[in-house]
Amino acid sequence: MNINFTLIAQAIAFAILIWFTVKFVWPPLLGAIEKRQKEIADGLAAAQEGKASLEIAEKKSAQSLGEAKQKAAEIISQAEKRASEILEDAKNQAKEEGDRIILGAKAEIDQEVNRAKETLRSQVSSLAIAGAEKILLKEIDKKAHSDMLNKLAKEL
Amino acid sequence: MEHEGTLSSPSQYIEHHLSFNTQGAEASFWTIHIDTIVMSIMLGLIAMGLIWMVAKKATAGVPSKAQAFVELIFDFVDDQVKNIFHGNRHTFIAPAALTVFVWVLVMNAMDFLPVDIMAAIYSFLGIHKWRSVPTSDVNTTFALALAVWFLMIYFGIKVKGLGGWVHELYSAPFGTKFWVWPFNFLFNLIEYVSKPLSHSLRLFGNMYAGEVIFLLLGLWAATGVSGLFFGALLGAGWSIFHILIVVLQAFIFMMLTVVYLAMAHEGH
């Protein structure tokens, strides 16, 4: 092992090699690695954010879904109520209408009966008079007898 | 081929495999180990060049498999530096640590090349002395350790100022009383001497010893059938164990580099 000029040559080579690495090899590798590290960190952060916002959105959608369900239930119950109301109304109206018709019919029947009675009365009285005329075959005080007969007819 | 003739002489075999391809006057300071320099620079260029090519196309999106692999190394080094050094590590220390780790790792990994097959290939190319593992040359490890040592002093002065740094030489670790100054200075002197020595010799020793053991197993394999069997078996075992050593030593070298530079940034 003899020390000689080789040492100096090797030291120079070493210095140049270090300079080369410092200048050309290390910076691009460091840049690429640091950039990737940053990108990964950013990506992870973004994923975290996305997760959080997804959670919020899920909560929101669940909430609005609940609200919609509630509203729908409300609407349905209102509609049912309204339907039963309408049905009730219709029933009442129909009943009233029926009652009215029945009343009208009754009144008409009464009227008809009265009219028939009236006709019958007048016919009875005139028949009675005619019968009496025929039976008696003589002159009768028409006026006095018709008063009496009318009274009689009214009693029918 | 040349080394086939040397099989009969173990010391020649080992000497052959452990001698450098030198250029310039032998045993003079101006000698250059061509093999060490060529191998280390080539490996450095290939390794850092491959990482550079991946880094150029680095995307923050889904990474390619090559980029994922480079990022694995990057993260590994960055994590270690982050735990030790609490300043802006991206301007110098972390990339320096990456360089040290990758470069030392690939240089150590040359130990996996089977010595005799590589020697045959080299001699086929007309090269008779060629050592493949630059980190088993003490010049390489010492160069790295000394470079780190200078960086240590540079950062010490840069962070604390020249006065602060000199003050620390005399006042740490025992205190600022004037009669402990010599002890402090002696302590720091020993520390500053021992740091590069232990730093470089640990790596050198491990890689050199690994190479020698491969050579010894190679020698054994040349002694006959049982030698071949056990030599091959133990060679395989040592190779597998060496995977651990290669990576571990590269890791230790990088960690010490980071620790020394981090210590230079912190006051005692």
pLDDT digit string, tens, across residues A28-69: 999 999 999 999 999 999 999 999 999 999 999 999 999 999
Query: What number of other Cβ atoms are within 10 A of residue A146's Cβ?
Result: 16
Contact between B32 and B22 under an 8 Å Cβ cutoff? The reply is yes
| Average confidence (pLDDT) over B188-201 | 93
Nearest CA in chain A to B22: A6
Residue B8 has pLDDT above 60, yes or no: no
Asked if the Cβ–Cβ distance from A7 to B139 is below 8 Å, we say yes
Residue A150, CA distances (Å) to A110, A117, A121, B104, B259 in order? 22, 13, 8, 156, 152
Contacts of A35 in chain B (CB under 8 A): 60
* pLDDT, chain B, mean: 88
Q: Does A113 touch chain B (CB under 8 A)?
A: no
Radius of gyration of chain A (CA): 60
**What distance, in Å, lies between the first and last C-alpha atoms of chain B?**
59
Tell the residue number behind the tokens 């009233």, with chain if given.
Answer: A96
Give B32's strand partners: B23
Q: Can you tell me the distance from the alpha carbon of B59 to that of B21, in angstroms, rounded to the nearest whole number?
A: 43
Give the residue from A5, A8, A20, A26 with the most B CB atoms within 10 Å of its CB, the best one to mutate.
Answer: A26
Contact between B251 and B202 under an 8 Å Cβ cutoff? The reply is no
Model's pTM, two decimal places?
Answer: 0.75
Q: Does B137 touch chain A (CB under 8 A)?
A: yes
Q: Could you tell me which of B267, B84, B258, B263 has the C-alpha nearest to residue B172?
A: B267
Pairing between β-strand B22-23 and β-strand B32-33 as defined by DSSP bridges: antiparallel
Contact between B89 and B262 under an 8 Å Cβ cutoff? The reply is no
Contact between B100 and B257 under an 8 Å Cβ cutoff? The reply is yes
Asked if the Cβ–Cβ distance from B147 to A11 is below 8 Å, we say yes
Long-range CB pairs of B218-222, under 8 A, 24+ apart, other chains included: B218/B13, B218/B115, B218/B116, B219/B10, B219/B13, B219/B14, B222/B7
pLDDT in tens, B83-117: 999 889 999 999 999 999 999 999 999 988 888 88
| Average confidence (pLDDT) over B180-206 | 92
- Give the pLDDT confidence score for residue B268 in this predicted structure: 56
Q: Which of A79-83, A129-133, B154-158, B255-259 is predicted least confidently?
A: A129-133
ipTM of the complex: 0.85
Name which of A9, A14, A29 is nearest B55 (Cβ-Cβ).
Answer: A29
Please, where are the H alpha helices in chain B? 2-6, 10-17, 34-56, 65-84, 93-109, 115-124, 138-171, 181-221, 225-265
Contact between B43 and B106 under an 8 Å Cβ cutoff? The reply is yes
Q: Does B88 touch chain A (CB under 8 A)?
A: no
| Average confidence (pLDDT) over B33-58 | 92
pLDDT in tens, A75-122: 999 999 999 999 999 999 999 999 999 999 999 999 989 888 888 888
Please report which confidence band the pLDDT of residue A139 belongs to, taking 50, 70 and 90 as the band edges.
low
Tell the residue number behind the tokens 């480079």, with chain if given.
Answer: B70
- Give the pLDDT confidence score for residue B244 in this predicted structure: 94
Name which of B58, B90, B134 is nearest A28 (Cβ-Cβ).
Answer: B58
- Give the pLDDT confidence score for residue A40 in this predicted structure: 93
Take residue A81 and report the two structure tokens written for it. Answer: 């109520």
Q: Could you tell me which of B123, B131, B130, B126 has the C-alpha nearest to residue B4?
A: B123
Give B33's strand partners: B22
Name which of B27, B67, B95 is nearest A22 (Cβ-Cβ).
Answer: B95
Q: Sketch the domain layout of chain B as residue ranges.
A: 22-265
Q: Can you tell me the distance from the alpha carbon of B154 to that of B253, in angstroms, rounded to the nearest whole number?
A: 19
Contacts of B32 in chain A (CB under 8 A): 4-6, 9
Residue A2 has pLDDT above 90, yes or no: no
- Give the pLDDT confidence score for residue B29 in this predicted structure: 80
Residue A126, CA distances (Å) to A112, A134, A136, B241 in order? 21, 12, 15, 157
Q: Does B258 touch chain A (CB under 8 A)?
A: no
Q: Could you tell me which of B77, B7, B52 has the C-alpha nearest to residue B228?
A: B7
Asked if the Cβ–Cβ distance from B33 to A4 is below 8 Å, we say yes
The full DSSP string for B42-99 is: HHHHHHHHHHHHHHHT--SSSPPHHHHHHHHHHHHHHHHHHHH--S-TTTTHHHHHHH
- Give the pLDDT confidence score for residue B179 in this predicted structure: 86
Contact between B203 and B111 under an 8 Å Cβ cutoff? The reply is no
Q: Which residues contact B159 (CB under 8 A, 6 or more apart)?
A: B264, B265
Run of H or E including B33: strand B32-33
- Give the pLDDT confidence score for residue B3 in this predicted structure: 44
Distance of CA B155 to the CA centre of its chain: 22
Take residue B162 and report the two structure tokens written for it. Answer: 């020249």
- Give the pLDDT confidence score for residue A138 in this predicted structure: 62
